[in-house]
Amino acid sequence: MTRTRADRPLREHFDTVVVGSGFGGAVAACRLAQAGIDVAVLERGRRWPAGSFPRELGDPDQGWLWAHEQGLYDIRPYPQMLTVTAAGYGGGSLVYANVAMRAPAEVFATHWPAPYRRDTLDPYYDLAADMLAIRPVPPDPRTGQLPPKTRLLAAGGAGQGVFLPNLAVTFGAPGRPVRNRFGAAQAGCLYCGECDIGCNIAAKNSLDLNYLALAERHGATVSTRCEVVHLERLPGGGYRIHLHDHGHDVRRTVTAERVVLAAGALGSTAILLRSRDQYRTLPDLPRTLGHGYSGNGDFLAFGHGTTAPVYPDRGPTITTARLVDTGPGADRPAWFLVEDGGYSAHLARLIMALSPGRLAALGLASVARALREGRAPGPVVEAAARDASDHTVVLLSMGRDHGEGRLSLRGGHLHVDWDTTGDRPLYAAESDAAADIVRSLGGRLALPPTWRYLGRPVSVHSLGGCRMGTGPHDGVVNVDGEVFGHPGLYVLDGAILPAATGTNPSHTITAVAERCLEILIRRITGDPAWTAPGKATVARPSLPEDAVVAIRPAVPRPDVQFTEVMRGTVSVDGTAHAVAATITVAVTDVDTFLRDPDHPARAVGRVEVAGLTGQPGVTVEHGTVRMLTRADGNGGAGRARRMEYELPFLVAGRRWELRGRKVVQPGDLRRLWAATTTLPVTVTGPGRGGAGVLRLSAAGFLRQLGTFRGSPPALARYVWFFVRRVSAAAWPIRPAANPHREEFR
């Protein structure tokens, strides 16, 4: 079955060169070619015709690993993160799990620049959905039923955040090839679980069968096994692309008026880092390059020994998703997704090997049974392994991690710095949710050895490194994907996403690319009305993810909530900066708040540091305010009380923190106003820092009183706590101790 045509000869010059053929690159190649623009696609991997994907695990040279003959998977075991990406014509679409999901509207409310909102991106999501022909998994036509794992994980899930997501899969006559509307041959899904190792019957709607097929029909030049090393700006405009032609094992160059980097978050960032720091051919790339890496909160878990067989090798890899909403809390995520996974029969032994203790026990028990029954051990062990695999469930979670990772070059090789500390609450919540699902199926949770023994998460959704921003101080590209200070150089892939999506990100990457390509082509052609052919008539598909978000269980409101606005200045590295902090303080449970000697409350909001964060500032999502604790420690006898603020935020992907402390000194009522409205602060970031003062104005205090929300009993208890604590600290005469009054220790 022919998937794509052969490569065309690569000329020395093109109008536009697209580097990479994943979700961003495929859109770029397709739309540019449709607009009549001379475009070439450079892909480091090879073409994978139907039937060519590897299946034998014993021979790495067959094509499994990129390190061996430019194979399918590029697996990088960094010290703090294990990343998995694909190499081939079609990029990650060759081996992804087909999920086409839109990010909820709230994702775009923080971190994303103003042009990006869910409603403004929806028309481009619609385009992507039409091109990829998405739909939820239907019953297998051969059995008339949904796959067993789908039925098990969806059972009882109505109203509990469970849904069947849209998939980019052709569900027709199983195994029977037909031509799709782009001229590529595809067969109906066999429900064989081989999506994530390459579909050998072309039922997966991978990009080589739609966007890229259409690009080649419109004249795009494609050259595979061509790996771009670095870029060079030409004196008269345009760029020289330095590449390694793996097919002929030679170095060569191609020039272009403009370049679209779409080699993935790791690949595109690495090309620019080499261009800036190693070859110095683009020395003035933004200093924020490499900042803001995110693993999209990916977390992998398994469940062994389920009561009923799950049959992970039946059906597409992912068929079911569950939105888990944890509610508010300073130390936990608001929501994340858990999806069922799967694997083909080829990978069953490998999956079982991820739990060596269970595998050894299974083997010993099987051998003992075979000896008792007088049978050869081999077939008994094989049968037991198959049965164990049938009773194994795979769960992949995704959430909105902090996105504070850093990509850099070390010895000429890309390196990922990823500190799991800030995301421990997310990983813990994902692990707990997986454990709950596994228990409900009668199984036992098993975590990958990389996490159990090394604390190293696995990400198949690397994002960031070339994030969108308002300028080179907080981003690498503008809202249209063009690199700051480098006309004609674009990045259009997961590298430019400014934050984790908390969902499978491929559909969002595709929609963002569609938007940016529309703007780029209008500039190139001078036609302000150009749109992708057929955009006006594309119908919106059903969106099961939106239906689940709409019926999401209501998040409990905090017992007490108020908003405080403080302004002032800080000096960072000797330079004064105006600061504005708008912080909403929430006490989730007033009983817990009063019992805890630190009296912690959650703080969210926005901090703007002029010249550092840009306008309108950056988001604080995981801040803490400790209210009126003892200034000399929890066990001290002193009357002084302090209010401590810890407000972390991100600047160019790096963690900064604003910390402050108000202190109410004993016996000084005259300074009480200043003590409760003046906040001395420090602002610290990577290798930088300073100090200053923020103040709450009298007018701001009156406005703050109007922001108090909560139940009357909870508000009354909080106000009584606050007034009693402040007056006890500031009153000139120390009140007599009351040994029977322990409520506010």
Residue 343 is predicted with a pLDDT of 86
pLDDT of residue 357 exceeding 70, the answer is no
pLDDT at 340 exceeding the cut of 90: yes
CA Rg value for the chain:
28
pLDDT (0 to 100) of residue 555: 47
Q: What is the pLDDT of residue 380?
A: 43
Distance, CA of 166 to CA of 579 (rounded, Å): 45
pLDDT band at 374 (very low <50, low <70, confident <90, very high): low
Confidence check: pLDDT of 554 > 70 = no
Does the structure show a pLDDT above 80 at 445? yes
- Residue 381 banded pLDDT, cuts 50, 70, 90: very low
The count of domains in the chain is 2
Average of per-residue pLDDT across 442-458 = 87
What whole-number distance in Å separates Cα of residue 298 and Cα of residue 405? 14
- For the ranges 282-291, 553-562, 694-703, the maximum mean pLDDT occurs at 282-291
Query: Is residue 745 in some structural domain?
Result: no
DSSP secondary structure letters along 535-564 = GGGPPPPP-HHHHHHHTPPPPPPPSEEEEE
Angstrom distance (rounded) from CA 576 to CA 334: 36
**Comparing 53-62, 524-533, 671-680, which segment has the lowest mean pLDDT?**
53-62
Q: What value does the mean pLDDT take over residues 132-148?
A: 95
pLDDT bracket for residue 26 (50, 70, 90): very high
Instruction: Based on the fold, state whether residues 533 and 575 are members of the same structural domain.
Output: no
The pLDDT of residue 458: 93
pLDDT mean over 246-265: 96
Q: Give the phi and the psi of residue 567 in degrees, each rounded to 5.
A: -135, 155
pLDDT of residue 615: 60
> Does residue 505 fall inside a structural domain?
yes
| 3 state DSSP class of 660 | strand
Confidence class of residue 171 from pLDDT cuts 50, 70 and 90?
very high
Q: Which one-letter amino acid corresponds to residue 278? A: Q
> Which pLDDT score is estimated for 740?
44
Minimum mean pLDDT among 359-368, 391-400, 556-565: which range? Answer: 359-368
Residue 458: in which H helix or E strand, if any? strand 458-459
Burial class (CB in 10 A: 0-12, 13-18, 19+), 109: exposed
Which is more confident, 595 or 478? 478
Residues 174 and 71 grouped into a single domain:
yes
Domain enclosing residue 667, as ranges = 560-730
Residue with more model confidence, 689 or 349: 689
Q: Give mean pLDDT, residues 646-664.
A: 84
CA distance 199 to 528: 40
Parallel/antiparallel/unpaired status of strands 39-43 and 221-224? parallel
Please tell me the predicted confidence (pLDDT) of residue 333. Answer: 62
Kindly state whether residue 99 falls inside one of the protein's structural domains.
Answer: yes
pLDDT computed for residue 2 by the predictor? 40
SS3 per residue for 70-129: CCCEEEEECCCCEEEEECCCCHHHHCCCCECCCCCHHHHHCCCCCCCCHHHHHHHHHHHH
Highest-pLDDT range among 338-347, 400-409, 650-659, 723-732: 400-409
Q: What is the pLDDT of residue 30?
A: 98
Domain match, 580 and 610 both: yes
**3-state class of 447 per DSSP?**
coil
Query: How far is 337 from 322, CA to CA, in rounded Å?
Result: 6
Rounded-to-integer distance, Cα 155 and Cα 80, Å: 37
pLDDT category at 383 given cuts 50, 70, 90 is low
Residue 466 lies inside a defined structural domain of this protein: yes
pLDDT at 58 over 60: yes
Mean pLDDT, residues 335-342 taken together = 93
Kindly state whether residue 518 falls inside one of the protein's structural domains. Answer: yes
- Asked if residue 365 and residue 271 are part of one domain, the reply reads yes
As a whole number of angstroms, the distance between CA 563 and CA 139 comes to 51
In three-state secondary structure terms, 350 is: helix
Look at residue 349 in the predicted model and tell me its pLDDT.
62
What is residue 616's predicted lDDT score, i.e. its pLDDT?
A: 63
Summarize the confidence of residues 626-654 as an average pLDDT: 74
Q: Quote the pLDDT of residue 531.
A: 97
Q: Which of 36-45, 135-144, 250-259, 625-634 bottoms out in mean pLDDT, i.e. has the lowest? A: 625-634
Q: Is there a single domain that holds both residue 597 and residue 542?
A: no
Q: Is residue 740 part of a domain?
A: no
Residues 62, 63, 67, 72: what is their CA dihedral angle, to the nearest 10 degrees?
A: -160
For residues 158 and 634, the model is more confident at: 158
Q: Is residue 743 part of a domain?
A: no
Say yes or no to pLDDT of 653 above 80.
Answer: no
The one-letter code for the residue type at 42 is: L
Compute the half-sphere exposure of residue 152: CA atoms within 13 Å on the CB side of its CA: 27
| Identity at 200, one-letter amino acid code | N
Tell whether the model's pLDDT for residue 548 goes beyond 60: yes
Q: Is 171 within the bounds of a domain? A: yes
User: Are both 496 and 585 inside the same structural domain?
Assistant: no
Of 475, 441, 424, residue with least CA distance to 272: 475
Whether 481 and 491 have beta carbons less than 8 Å apart is answered as yes
Decide: 193 and 345 in contact? Cβ < 8 Å: yes
- Listed residues 519, 547, 575: the one ending a domain: 547
3-class SS string, 199-250: CCCCCECCHHHCHHHHHHHCCCEEEECEEEEEEEECCCCCEEEEEEECCCCE
> What was the pLDDT predicted at 204?
97
**Is 202 buried (19+), middle (13-18) or exposed (0-12) by CB count in 10 A?**
buried
- Same domain for 35 and 80, yes or no, is yes
164-168, 326-330, 342-346: which is most confident: 164-168
Q: What's the pLDDT at 368?
A: 55
Residues 458 and 528 in one domain: yes
**Residue 243 pLDDT grade (very low, low, confident, very high; cuts 50, 70, 90):** very high
For residue 517, pLDDT over 90 is answered with: yes
**What is residue 338's three-state secondary structure?**
strand
pLDDT (tens digit per residue) in 296-311 = 999 999 998 899 999 9
Name the average pLDDT for the chain.
87
Which residues in 404-428 are b (16+ Cβ under 10 Å) and which e?
A: bbbbbbeeeebbbbbebeebebbbe
Looking at residue 595, what is its pLDDT? Answer: 84
Final residue of a structural domain among 547, 569, 602: 547
Which of 120-129, 355-364, 523-532, 550-559 has the least mean pLDDT? 355-364
Which pLDDT band, with edges at 50, 70 and 90, does 508 fall under? Answer: very high
Lowest-confidence range among 276-280, 369-373, 706-710? 369-373
Distance CA 22, CA 43 (A): 9
**Each residue of 458-498: pLDDT tens digit?**
999 999 999 999 899 889 999 999 999 999 999 999 999 99
Residue 121 — pLDDT band, cuts 50, 70, 90? very high
Mean pLDDT calculated for residue range 229-256:
96
- Domain match, 632 and 688 both: yes
Across the strands, what pairs with 678? 695
Does the pLDDT of residue 635 top 50, yes or no? no
Q: Which of 108-117, 184-193, 646-655 has the lowest average pLDDT?
A: 646-655
- Same domain, residue pair 445 and 578: no
**Whether residues 568 and 592 fall in one domain:** yes
Q: What is the CATH number of the domain that holds 252?
A: 3.50.50.60
- Of 514, 547, 580, the position where a domain reaches its end is 547
594/624 same-domain check: yes
